[in-house]
A and B are shown apart, each in its own frame.
Chain A
Amino acid sequence: MYEKHKMLTLIVLLFFIVLAVWGIAFLFIKISLYPRSFVYLGVYILLVGIVLVLVVRGKESFHEYGFRWPRSLMNMVLGAFLASVYVIITVFIPGSLRNFEVLPANPFDVYMNITIIFVAVFAEEIIFRGYILRNLIKMHGFFTAILLSSAMYSLTYAIYRLPLALLLEMQGQLESASSFFMAGIFLGTLFYKTRTLMYCIVVHLFIRIFQFLTPLHAITSGYERLLFEIIAYATLTYLVLITVLTRKDGG
């Protein structure tokens, strides 16, 4: 019982640390582009470091936290499949109903953006799926755990995007943050079935890179975009349930 409370305290503490570190990072985020990129990278690396310290102090093996290889790397094709389905549902279906906006090629350093995407995806999966979801499943079972971890994931993004929405007047930032709840449910289901972070990382990476490399944007309202995001993540969750067998060997 004591161990259970200690673990729950650590999870809540980690969650507040994530929020607090982002709070500190916002002090530097308005400086200019390149320092901001380095702040992003620094924050993510710091957060992963905190999780690793917590795992080492808990005297548990990384294997249990999903740090293990899948049986076949060829199965990573699933990532390209799911990410393509996601892009078609969120961009092409609403775009064909209305119209598209062709956005300019990103003027910022492509390598820096790709690096941030890689580091961010690794950090998010290690924190929210590897540490928080895995421990919550052990304590409260799958359904409570996935709801709690997804709520934490979306709340982090809401707070992370709030200054952007206010300072840069970027509409839709907060609506898109709420779609992270569905993203948390989808990625959590994938982690629960595969028991390895590798699938979550690869699928998440494919989605973010496909989004980044597609200079198209469907002309929709924030709520329509949110609706299509929810439909997309629900479809991906369903596809995971029917295409992936549950891994039984511990973890």
Chain B
Amino acid sequence: MILLITKPLQVLIFLSVLGLCLGVIASVVGESKGVFIERIMYDTSKLYPAERYTWKINVEIVVDNNLCPNTSREDLFFFKLYVDDSLWWNEYNDTDYKFWNCSRNSTVTRKYIIKIPTWLGANYHLFRVELFRYDNVTGIIYFEDEVSFMAICVLQVNLRHQTPLSYLSIYAFTIFISSVYLSATGRIRP
């Protein structure tokens, strides 16, 4: 702080160089874990109202099993998916989606289609994916990883839809009122 007062230029140059260096270092990715959700890919759900009745969000989850390959057995896993903090899917109990295998030192990609009723309208939805490992020898379930993400559901409409029309009328009215004022006062003397 004293240096900033006595030698501000030198401090500022130092900060500039430091910032540029840190900006480069910031791109280096961090630690690795045992079993973890490597990445989640999802799309923005878009639809015309009255066409369908559910938003469909395609979600692709990649799991990396990075545990030491000390045994030849495959690990069993399952997901719990939450939408807006409500349990939407539990593979542990579900009849269609069951446990799935992921060999050690390998990755598995799982694909899901999440359906949400449209009556909620355009909205952000908070998704949470919890990854569990099931030890089929002891029957113990281990919590491994958790990732949250926010997906957007948007509506596609044309100009005749009430939302664009109402906003357009507001802006047109603003232009009308302000142009009446500006034309009454003449050119602005700043």
User: B19 and A19: CB pair below 8 A?
Assistant: yes
Residue of B nearest to A162 (CB): B23
Q: Which of B13, B157, B190 is in CB contact (< 8 Å) with A13?
A: B13
Instruction: Tell whether B182 is near chain A: CB-to-CB under 8 Å.
Output: yes
Residue of B nearest to A72 (CB): B189
A-side interface size class = 35 or more
Report A-chain residues with C-beta under 8 Å of the C-beta of B13.
Answer: 13
Measured CA separation A63–B76 after assembly (Å): 71
Instruction: Tell whether B52 is near chain A: CB-to-CB under 8 Å.
Output: no
Residue of A nearest to B46 (CB): A101
**A104-B124 contact in complex given A17-B15, A53-B8, A81-B182, C-beta closer than 8 Å:** yes
User: B167 and A214: CB pair below 8 A?
Assistant: yes
Q: Which of B15, B171, B189 is in CB contact (< 8 Å) with A21?
A: B15
Report B-chain residues with C-beta under 8 Å of the C-beta of A7.
Answer: none
User: A23 and B190: CB pair below 8 A?
Assistant: no
Report B-chain residues with C-beta under 8 Å of the C-beta of A20.
Answer: 15-20, 23
Measured CA separation A64–B16 after assembly (Å): 27
User: B17 and A75: CB pair below 8 A?
Assistant: no
Interface-located stretch among A87-95, A125-133, A144-152, A175-183: A87-95
Interface-located stretch among A112-120, A192-200, A220-228: A192-200
Instruction: Tell whether B187 is near chain A: CB-to-CB under 8 Å.
Output: yes
B residues bordering A, Cβ < 8 Å? 8-9, 12-13, 15-20, 22-23, 26, 46, 121-124, 150, 152-159, 161, 163-164, 167-168, 171-172, 174-175, 178-179, 181-182, 185, 187-190
- A sample of 18 cross-chain residue pairs with beta-carbon separation below 8 angstroms, ordered by A number, consists of A13-B9, A19-B20, A20-B15, A20-B16, A20-B18, A20-B20, A20-B23, A22-B23, A75-B189, A77-B181, A88-B172, A96-B159, A101-B156, A102-B156, A103-B122, A193-B190, A195-B190, A219-B156
